[in-house]
Chain A
Amino acid sequence: ANCLARYWPCYVMLTGCSVTPLLVFIIVPAILGVSFGIRRIYMKTLLKIFEWATLRMERGAKERNQQLYKPCSNGIIAKEPVSLEQEIQEPRGGGGEFDMSDILYFCRRGVESIVDDEVTKRFTAEELESWNLLTRSNYNLHHISARLTVLWGLGVLIRYGFLLPLRVTLAVTGVGLLVVLTSIVGWLPNSRMKKYLSEKVNLMCYRICVRALTAIITYHDSDNKPKNGGICVANHTSPIDVLILASDGCYSMVGQAHGGLMGFIQKTLVKACPHIWFERSEVKDRHLVAKRLSDHVADKTKLPILIFPEGTCINNTSVMMFKKGSFEIDCTIYPVAIKYDPRFGNAFWNSSKFRMVTYLLHMMSSWAVVCSVWYLPPMKREEGEDAVQFANRVKSAIARKGGLVDLLWDGGLKRSKVKEVFKEEQQKLYSKVLVSRQEDPEHS
């Protein structure tokens, strides 16, 4: 305590000296929207370190005559794309519709899905091929040598001792500034000046928040950026998606009105910018939701709406069913594909495993969040196309651009059971096969 009393000017100076360059290198560029390129150099260095770490682990494993656990992204078993009709309608000996061997098809398909299915693995974090020095993403922990452990320890010190406090400070600054400045702008009378200021303020604060996560984002095809009177749709991996898009353009957000701190932030934001917050009771009323969205897009002075049609977070290896609600509205759709680079940290929010705060802490103690954003050309619903077909068309375009698997399954299967109607479809298909055999026994 005596030390502290005597040397406090030194401490203040030290803190000041260390904080100022950080402020200069991080906050000022955020305000001005420029970048020194430090983050990219950081990213390249990290990649080299990760490769070295993985090589050492492989070498260590080989010396001990063991294998490293290598994850497989393309599935672990060979599934032949043979349909029910093709397999069962092979030429058989006897006549009659039913064959006791028909059961073998269902049996094998069932066991295949037990070993590896397309859906359940989308709701957990993707497995990595190289190790990024985070314990939470390593399945080969018993292959780490002493040297690697030291490196890992160093990593922990850097991440939790330096990066995390810095990032938390930035995040608090960013959110604080957002709340304060949007309140100030909110007091201004509606005018072009207010709009202009509101946009600048939002962009600046979101950019600070992006730096709070050390997010290194590459935007592609920016001439396709969403314009007023349209709806921007993107694949959903985490709450950070909003930050990533909002730091490069201005959007009206859609969501449920929360209470507490979140609710306070929502109310403040809406003073400067027309976001659409729904009360919990209103969310169920699909007509009300559709009406509010339609009214918003009809007003060409209002910003484009940002919507995530999957309705839930998926692990960024696939795009799941798009809910048709936003595709029923008559306007231009601006699709956006977001792909995170899994080598640096897992951005997927597994909401059944981690709460939001835990998730944010994980994000802020990772090395970086690296992602690519592609703005796809705008799409409109064509003649004779219904909302579901249009939604699927947009989904395919996004999946193709982002290199993700295009699935028809509903993301809601994360929490709820699959509908009976799909089983009934399978039963109907089999019945058709039986009936067709009966009608044409020679040919089947």
Chain B
Amino acid sequence: MGLPLVESALQWNSGILNANRDPKNDDVEFQITRLYSRFHSLDKGENGALSREDFQRIPELAINPLGDRIINAFFPEGEDQVNFRGFMRTLAHFRPVEDNEKSKGHDASEPLNSRNNKLLFAFRLYDLDRDDKISRDELLQVLRMMVGVNISDEQLGSIADRTIQEADTNGDMSISFSEFIKVLEKVDVEQKMSIRFLH
């Protein structure tokens, strides 16, 4: 299975996950080993990278209304394959925030699982064309994905209008990232966007 590869992934990822090589971070090593095993089992073509089809083979993801948007988040602009590094990088957004306490990072850069970065991940689910703005059209498309055929166009349109009206503070009829942060300021994003490993 190539577990030595995990060792190198660990070395590389120490920077991203702010993990120090001390015994307390056996947890991190454990998690990365699990995730590598998972990556390998999803990689049916055994070419060291996942394609969109590999993700769509997961039934629970295929029936998720936003499944395609989530899959898209793993693939950088214009690319069709994601390697283990990219896979880990995207998943790192979902580490619980308290894990950062265990590993005192001395990097100046913000960890991927900060509240801000979690919100950015969610923002990008709405922002279909990656132009850092959520337009009315984009909001409508995402809403349509979530409700299917069960709500009429007019009703959906009015929902979108109302949402933009409440969020938009600078009057450009679209939602920027800072406006998005303001809308969600009371939401416990850290808890809703965290995945905990069992031991």
A residues near B (Cβ < 8 Å) are 67, 69, 72, 74-78, 87, 92-94, 96-98, 100-121, 124, 139-140, 142, 409, 413, 417-418, 422-428, 430-432, 434-435
Q: How far is the CB of B107 from chain A (nearest CB, A)?
A: 24
Give bound CA distance, A110 to B63, whole Å. Answer: 9
Q: Which residues of A contact B108 (CB under 8 A)?
A: none
Q: Which residues of A contact B195 (CB under 8 A)?
A: 77-78, 108, 111-112, 115
Q: Is the CB of A106 within 8 A of B146?
A: yes
Give bound CA distance, A175 to B15, whole Å. Answer: 61
B48 at the A/B interface (Cβ < 8 Å)?
no
Q: Which residues of A contact B148 (CB under 8 A)?
A: 423-424, 427-428, 431
Q: Is the CB of A105 within 8 A of B192?
A: yes
Q: Is the CB of B65 within 8 A of A113?
A: no
Give bound CA distance, A67 to B25, whole Å. Answer: 12
Q: Which residues of B contact A104 (CB under 8 A)?
A: 122, 187, 189, 192-193
Q: Is the CB of A111 within 8 A of B70?
A: yes
- Count how many chain B residues have C-beta atoms less than 8 Å from C-beta atoms of the other chain: 59
Q: Is the CB of A117 within 8 A of B58?
A: yes
B67 at the A/B interface (Cβ < 8 Å)?
yes
Q: Contacts A69-B3, A142-B3 known; A96 to B162 CB distance under 8 Å?
A: yes
Q: Which residues of B contact A114 (CB under 8 A)?
A: 55, 58, 61, 70, 91
A100, closest chain B residue (CB): B183
Known: A418-B62, A427-B149. 13 other contacts (CB 8 A): A77-B196, A78-B195, A100-B126, A104-B122, A107-B66, A107-B125, A120-B59, A139-B1, A139-B3, A139-B37, A427-B150, A428-B148, A434-B147
B169 at the A/B interface (Cβ < 8 Å)?
no
Question: Which residues in window 48-81 of B have CB below 8 A to A?
Answer: 55-67, 70
B173 at the A/B interface (Cβ < 8 Å)?
no
Give bound CA distance, A435 to B70, whole Å. Answer: 25
Q: Is the CB of A418 within 8 A of B63?
A: yes
Question: Which residues in window 108-149 of B have CB below 8 A to A?
Answer: 121-122, 125-126, 142-143, 146-149
Give bound CA distance, A120 to B163, whole Å. Answer: 38
16 contacts between A and B (CB under 8 A): A72-B34, A77-B197, A78-B198, A93-B186, A98-B163, A100-B183, A103-B122, A103-B125, A110-B67, A111-B70, A111-B91, A114-B55, A115-B38, A140-B3, A417-B56, A418-B62
Q: How far is the CB of A126 from chain B (nearest CB, A)?
A: 13
B residues near A (Cβ < 8 Å) are 1, 3-4, 26, 29-30, 33-35, 37-38, 41-42, 55-67, 70, 91, 94, 121-122, 125-126, 142-143, 146-151, 159, 162-163, 166-167, 180, 183-184, 186-187, 189, 192-198
Give bound CA distance, A121 to B1, whole Å. Answer: 16
Q: How far is the CB of A444 from chain B (nearest CB, A)?
A: 15
Q: How far is the CB of A91 from chain B (nearest CB, A)?
A: 11
A74, closest chain B residue (CB): B198
Q: Is the CB of A117 within 8 A of B122?
A: no
Q: Is the CB of A418 within 8 A of B64?
A: no
Q: Which residues of B contact A113 (CB under 8 A)?
A: 58, 60-61, 64
Q: Which residues of B contact A87 (CB under 8 A)?
A: 192
Give bound CA distance, A74 to B199, whole Å. Answer: 10
Q: Contacts A72-B198, A77-B198, A100-B180 known; A142 to B4 CB distance under 8 Å?
A: yes
Q: Contacts A100-B184, A115-B195, A423-B65 known; A409 to B59 CB distance under 8 Å?
A: yes
Q: How far is the CB of A353 from chain B (nearest CB, A)?
A: 10
B44, closest chain A residue (CB): A352
Give bound CA distance, A105 to B188, whole Å. Answer: 12
Give bound CA distance, A75 to B38, whole Å. Answer: 11
Give bound CA distance, A128 to B61, whole Å. Answer: 27
